[in-house]
């Protein structure tokens, strides 16, 4: 089997992808998407577990019409750059809307969606996406 999504990598990132848990370097500010005891950028061992908020604002987006392997059937789809209240930025899939509805500053909320399937027999990968907020901050 020639897997596009390798189970160990996928498993290691699951807390980040399901709940936006990150490991932040207290020395240089680098954000890691998996548990680590040493910063990959500055080698500091001052790492703090943190969770990014469930709401963010859109900075900008693009529409992918020529997708990579395992994403072909989803085209066209929206990929956005979003910013959290604390200034952390993240690239994320944007769902449940058309591009025309989006503009810089649109309020978004996190959902967990199917990101891609590894063919008919491989892993199904789930993770965060953002959609225009419907829960009105409840």
Partner 1 sequence: MPRLSGVAVHGYGAYIPMFRIKASEIARVWGMPDSELPVLEKSVNSLDEDTVTIAAEAASYAIARAGIDPDRIGAVYVGSESHPYAVKPTGTIVADVLGVNSRLLSADLEFACKAGTEAVELVSGLVASGMIEYGLAIGADTAQGRPRDALEYTAAAGGVALLIGKSSEGAIAELEYAASYVTDTPDFWRRNHERYPVHGSRFTGVPAYFHHIISAAKMVVEDGYSLGEFDYIVFHQPNTKFPYAAAKMLGIPAKKIEPGVVCNLIGNTYAASSMMGLAKVLDQSKPGESILLVSYGSGAGSDAFVFRVKEGILEKRGRAPLVSELIERRRYVDYALYLKARGKIRE
**Does 9 help bind partner 1 (rule: CB under 8 A)?**
no
Contact residue for partner 1 among 12, 13, 14, 55 (CB under 8 A) = 14
CB atoms within 10 A of CB 130: 27
Reading the block at residue 20, the tokens are: 């936006």
**Per-residue b or e along 82-96, where b marks 16 or more CB atoms closer than 10 Å to that residue's CB:** bbeeeebebebbbbe
* 3-state secondary structure at position 25: strand
**Does 124 help bind partner 1 (rule: CB under 8 A)?**
yes
Which CB, 19 or 32, lies closer to partner 1? 19
Give the pairing of strands 77-83 and 55-64.
antiparallel
Q: 128, 109 in Cβ contact below 8 A?
A: no
Least distance (Å) between residue 134 CB and partner 1: 6
Radius of gyration (C-alpha) of the chain in whole angstroms: 16
**Does 107 help bind partner 1 (rule: CB under 8 A)?**
no
**Does 19 help bind partner 1 (rule: CB under 8 A)?**
yes
Least distance (Å) between residue 73 CB and partner 1: 7
* Interface mask toward partner 1 for 73-102; x: CB under 8 A: xx------------------x-xx------
Distance, CA of 128 to CA of 111 (rounded, Å): 6
Reading the block at residue 63, the tokens are: 């529409």
Which CB, 88 or 95, lies closer to partner 1? 95
Residues that bind partner 1 (CB under 8 A): 14, 18-19, 73-74, 93, 95-96, 111-115, 124, 126, 129, 134-135, 138
């Amino acid at each position: 089997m020639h897997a596009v999504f390798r189970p160990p990598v996928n498993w290691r990132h699951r807390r980040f992808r399901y709940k936006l848990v990150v490991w932040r370097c207290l020395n240089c500010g680098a954000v890691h998407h998996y548990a680590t005891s040493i910063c990959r950028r500055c080698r500091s061992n001052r790492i703090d577990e943190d969770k990014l908020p469930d709401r963010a604002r859109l900075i900008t987006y693009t529409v992918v019409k020529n997708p990579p392997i395992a994403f072909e059937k989803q085209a066209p789809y929206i990929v956005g750059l979003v910013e959290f209240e604390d200034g952390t930025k993240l690239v994320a899939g944007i769902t449940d809307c058309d591009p025309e509805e989006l503009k810089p500053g649109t309020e978004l909320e996190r959902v967990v969606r199917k990101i891609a399937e590894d063919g008919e027999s491989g892993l199904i990968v789930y993770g965060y996406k953002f959609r225009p907020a419907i829960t009105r901050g409840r």
